[in-house]
Structure 1
Amino acid sequence: MITKNAVSIQFPEADLQAVKEALATLKTILGPQLIALSPSERQTVPKMSDGTLPFVEKVMDYAQSDNQFLPPYVDLQELEKDWLAVKELMPLLRDLQQLESNLNDTLMMAGSEAYVGALSYYNSVKYGAKVNAADAKVIYEDLKQRFDKSANRASN
């Protein structure tokens, strides 16, 4: 099984450390301000989308310039804070989503390439064990556990 080597990367340790530090900084700065919703909350909360943004922006303009129609239960200052948070965080989220998507795709492809290479090695060892090549049987017996159905059922 010959495959195209789509991923051939190696990060210097200093770069990986810098990325870890940058992530730690993001967690330190953003973490205390962020919330986590439960799955049921995520389903029930009204969601703002790209089509909703212009509507909310217009409402904000009207509410700030002509607040006579603002219901008494709506706190304009809190509404302004929420809108500012959306405007400030949305570009960050988009950048992170692009990075996460590319990171996920790179990891998926590198994993696929590593797995295909490992399967090729395994098949070669399997053939070596079949023809009694030196050391092949021990390696094959160890590696075949991955595919042994009875061992997989027992570990699940």
Structure 2
Amino acid sequence: MSTKNTVSIQIPEAELQTVKEAIATLKTTLSPYLIAISAEERQRIPKMGDGTIPFVEKVMDYAQEDSQFLPPFIDLNELSKDWEVVKRLAPLLRDLQQVESNLNDTVMMAGSEAYVGALGYYNSVKYGARVNVADAKVIHEDLKQRFNRSKYNQSE
């Protein structure tokens, strides 16, 4: 059984350390300005998408030029701050999403390749145990625990 080896990389420890430090810097620098919202809030709030951005941009222009139409319950300064946050953080988010997507794909593919290789080894050991190859039974007994279902899991 031949498998395609898509991921064949070795990242030097110094480069990983540089990335870890950069991530730590991002977290430290941005954390005072970022918030977390609950899953319920995330579902409930109106969201600004690509189609909404030009609308909000026009409203911001109009609101600043013709504030006579601004409802008394809307603070233009706060609205401007929110819009500025979107304009400044959205490009960072897009960059990080690209990195996250590629990082996720790389980890997923490398994990898949490692798992397929491990299954190949396991099946070889399993066969070795069946035909009484020395040491195969002990290795097989240890590795097969991954595939054993407990009584608890079988009742679910």
Asked if TM exceeds 0.5, the reply is yes
Match of 1:49 in 2: 49
Match of 1:150 in 2: 150
Q: How does 1:99-110 map to 2 (within 5 A)?
A: 99-110=99-110
Match of 1:26 in 2: 26
Identity of paired residues, percent? 75
Q: 2-side partners of 1:140 and 1:153: how far apart?
A: 22
Taking structure 1 as reference, are residues 128 and 152 closer, same or farther at Cα in structure 2, changes over 3 Å only? farther
Check conservation: 1:145, 1:151, Cα contact below 8 A.
no
Q: 1-side partners of 2:151 and 2:26: how far apart?
A: 42
SS at the partner of 2:60? helix
Count residues in correspondence: 155
Q: 2-side partners of 1:131 and 1:92: how far apart?
A: 58
Asked if 1:137 corresponds to 2:133, the answer is no
Check conservation: 1:146, 1:152, Cα contact below 8 A.
no
Q: 1-side partners of 2:113 and 2:3: how far apart?
A: 8
Q: 1-side partners of 2:149 and 2:99: how far apart?
A: 38
Match of 1:113 in 2: 113
What is the CA-CA distance between 1:138 and the residue it aligns to?
Answer: 0.6
Question: What letter is aligned with 2:30?
Answer: L
What is the CA-CA distance between 1:151 and the residue it aligns to?
Answer: 7.0
Q: CA RMSD in A?
A: 1.5
Misfit runs of 4+, over 2 Å: 150-154
SS at the partner of 2:10? coil
Q: 5+ unaligned residues in a row in structure 1: which ranges?
A: none
Q: 1-side partners of 2:122 and 2:152: how far apart?
A: 18
Match of 1:80 in 2: 80
Q: Which has the higher contact order (CA 8 A, sep 6+)?
A: 1
SS at the partner of 2:150? helix
Q: TM-score, normalised by structure 1?
A: 0.95
